[in-house]
Chain A
Amino acid sequence: MTDKIAIVDYGMGNLRSVANGLAEVGAMSQLVAAGADLMAYDKIILPGVGAFSQAMENLHGRELVGPLNDCVQAGKQVLGICLGMQLMCKQSFEDGIHQGLGWFDADVIEFPKTENLKVPHMGWNSVHFEKDHGVISSIETDNDVYFVHSYFVDCKSPQDILGTASHGQKFTAMLARENITGMQFHPEKSQQVGLKMLENFVNDAGF
């Protein structure tokens, strides 16, 4: 476990919780704000809470988009959490249309406003695994994890969908392709199940 883990610090959300979760599973991590420093790390976590457009603006403004793409190209394990997973998608329809990092062929769309469906989707809900993956190793399918979001990922490539959940409709809760993984829920706030996912991410050499 000598992998160096970077948590991308781009001014969006509670990075402390992610670092706490990693520490709990025995991993040290660093908050990294400068794109030029990212290449020095083995694994990258892109967290995030807040608005999509602001997040992309921050990533561009802090010149992090190029270095993040370089990390993916270089085969580094990259994990997006919550908004971080949404940023990995092609585009979001949150307050207009905004381009994302485009790593997954997916759109980010709003939960439809209907009677009896509370938005944001907030609380513990089960995640159903759609395929095998190192990050979910030894975790059974349909465990509960903690979600907080008003927009969800609609993935156009079924083979990239690692997990799904339901809130009024089925949506993509986890994405995975090669060295890129995304989690819509908060593993760092999802008790043993979430911590196990972080531990798998930390320990697995390659998915």
Chain B
Amino acid sequence: MLKTRLIAVLIVLEGQVVQSVRFKHTNVIHYDPIHAIEAFNKWAVDEIVVLNVDRNPGGREAFAEKVSHISRICFVPLSVGGWITDEGYADLLLRSGADKLVVNSAVHDLPDLVQALSKRYGKQCVVASMDVMRGGSNIPTVRVDRGRIDTGSNALDWAGRAVDLGAGEILFNSIDHDGARRGYDVDTLKTIARAVDIPVIAFGGVLTWDHLMGGLDAGADAVAVANQFHYTEQSTKKAKAFLARKNIIVRAEGRFGD
């Protein structure tokens, strides 16, 4: 049977891995993402997501160049996103060694593009990332453009639209929970995981490994972590060992004989 996936996320700003706290990026974690990729590949991670959070598109060619560097030493599936606004750029990212494309604003602004990417490369290649935020009414709505624009759309409608456009997975994140160290937004996550039949990845807010269990209990198929995975040695290995102790079936490291 399929194993529960543990995913490391790298938030990249101007070529550096940064810490993300409610979508603000002030502290640099790694000056070059290659160091993080190297570590995670040794630490039993199942998948890696790299997101370019630059507020303007000027650096996207340089980001693609970074992707081509890191893909050389990344031997787990690599998903990348940020400023995918046309098929040409999507193609460049894939040719740079990405396995999947992460779309966010495009689901709102460029639905035809999402549909075209799904048709051209297959559903498995398109990950719809959704960033929710609770307003004064405490009802989460989906935001795009690095959290700057409130689409007014509720999480469930948005997830349904992503599925209709041909997304193969949903990367669920909460701006309120991002970097807040109190676990995933499990309430919103639960409604989405129940409603869609594509895999949902929980993201945003993990401090303790118990928070990973919160995401899985809410129905997520995979759990993702950014900041916290960068701060401790062997983090992903330890997180996996924790999940295994909780009877979650995770990928074991390779076993070799004579």
Interface size bracket, B side:
35 or more
A192 to B72, CA, bound (A): 15
Contact of B191 with A by CB under 8 A: no
Smallest CB gap from B222: residue in A: A123
**How many A-B pairs with Cβ below 8 Å?**
102
Q: Are the C-beta atoms of A189 and B99 separated by less than 8 Å?
A: yes
Are B75 and A24 in contact, with the CB atoms below 8 A? Answer: yes
Residues on the B chain within 8 Å of A123, using CB: 2-3, 5, 46, 199, 222
Which secondary structure dominates where chain A touches chain B? mixed
* Separation of A193 and B5 alpha carbons in the complex (Å): 17
In the complex, per-residue mask of A18-56: 1 if CB is within 8 Å of any chain B CB, else 0: 001101100000000000000000000000011100000
Task: Let me know if A16 is at the binding interface, CB within 8 A.
Answer: yes
Contacts of B258 in A (CB 8 A): 138
Tell me which of A17, A138, A166 contacts B1 (CB under 8 A): A166
Given the complex of chains A and B, what is the CA–CA distance between A188 and B71 in angstroms? 11
CB distance from B101 to the nearest CB of A (A): 12
Instruction: Judge whether A99 is part of the interface by a CB distance below 8 angstroms.
Output: no
Please, which residues of chain A bring their CB within 8 A of the CB of B231? none
Q: Are A140 and B2 in contact (CB under 8 A)?
A: no
CB-defined contacts of A166 to chain B, threshold 8 Å? 1
- Say yes or no: A20 contacts B71, CB within 8 Å: yes
Check B72–A20 contact: CB distance below 8 A.
Answer: yes
| Distance of A101 Cα from B258 Cα, bound (Å) | 35
Q: Which residues of A contact B123 (CB under 8 A)?
A: 120
22 contacts between A and B (CB under 8 A): A14-B98, A16-B68, A17-B71, A49-B121, A49-B125, A50-B122, A120-B122, A120-B123, A122-B124, A122-B199, A123-B3, A124-B46, A138-B256, A139-B255, A143-B254, A166-B1, A189-B76, A189-B99, A191-B75, A191-B76, A192-B75, A194-B75
